[in-house]
Amino acid sequence: MTNWKIGVIGFGNIAQALIGGLLKVQAIDPEQVFVCAAHVDKLRMNAEKYGVHACQDAEEVIEKSDVVILAVKPYQMEKVVTPLKSLLKDKIVVSVASGWMFDRFEGLLEKGTHHISTSPNTPVAVAEGIIIVEDKHSLSDDEFSHLIQLFEQVALVEILDIDHMGIAGTLSGATPAYAAMFIEALGDAGVKHGLTRASAYRLASQMLAGTGKLYLEHQNHPGAMKDAVCSPGGITIVGVEALEQNGFRYAVMSAINACQSKKAG
């Protein structure tokens, strides 16, 4: 368990997922966590759910913390952080906001501030997430090592250069929505053929989790994994053909392309 006192400015979905996951694996103590958000009533309700401290404002969060996680909306970052720059100077600042990379923060924070940019996805909440970490940062070696060790308790941590942060963030951050749609579609098919919805969703979800874990442990090519399930003249290859007839892989690639185009725009 880390000795760091952790502050969170902005306690929305991603921040709650990250803190919730760290609490789940007992990597942090709820007594060491201080949070604030714009909507006080909602903040208090969410803070109570996790057993962490709800603070009146960002200044109180920073004062009580060693590490400050900036989890405000990207378009609000400059407005929120500018009045706090002097208070953040002696803290470890961790951003989880999309689009806010090291160089951009260098122009916003005071010179000498120790900061790093990351991109977690929502499955960190169950300690099965992904956290993309920019390789350019101003943390000390010990700070960086300790942060990575902390994150690795809830996620696969991938350290990348700025040129690949965008696509990695899309591939890990947007796609839980697509995976959920796949689970929902498989569930609908199961219901059509007589399964209860609860049973169909459980089976589809475990299949997806298990297939991902199978790849991570053995790292066989996904095509080889597919081939291993497709017997000659069997039912699986018929389903593969139906997916290809309906542009399955093209649809997935098009969704990622659309996300990247939106980011570029």
Instruction: Kindly provide the b/e burial profile for residues 44-53, where b requires at least 16 CB atoms within 10 angstroms of the residue's own CB.
Output: eebbeebebb
Checking if the pLDDT of 1 tops 80, the result is: no
What pLDDT digit, counting tens, does each position of 78-109 carry?
Answer: 999 999 999 999 999 999 998 899 999 999 99
Report the pLDDT value the prediction gives residue 265, as an integer from 0 to 100: 75
Average pLDDT over residues 205-232: 96
Report the pLDDT value the prediction gives residue 118, as an integer from 0 to 100: 97
Provide Rg for the chain, Cα atoms.
Answer: 21
Q: Give me the residue spans of the domains in the chain.
A: 6-160, 175-264
Checking if the pLDDT of 2 tops 90, the result is: no
CATH number, domain 6-160, options 3.40.50.2300, 3.40.50.720, 3.30.1370.30, 3.40.50.150: 3.40.50.720
Report the pLDDT value the prediction gives residue 120, as an integer from 0 to 100: 96
Residues 6+ apart with CB under 8 A from 33: 5, 6, 7, 8, 19, 23, 50, 52, 53
User: Which percentage of the chain shows pLDDT scores above 90?
Assistant: 96
Confidence of residue 264 (pLDDT cuts 50, 70, 90): confident
Are 6-160 and 175-264 in the same CATH fold?
Answer: no
Checking if the pLDDT of 137 tops 80, the result is: yes
Average pLDDT over residues 191-208: 98
Confidence of residue 161 (pLDDT cuts 50, 70, 90): very high
CATH C-level class of 175-264: mainly alpha
- pTM for the structure as a whole: 0.92
Checking if the pLDDT of 35 tops 80, the result is: yes
Average pLDDT over residues 250-262: 95
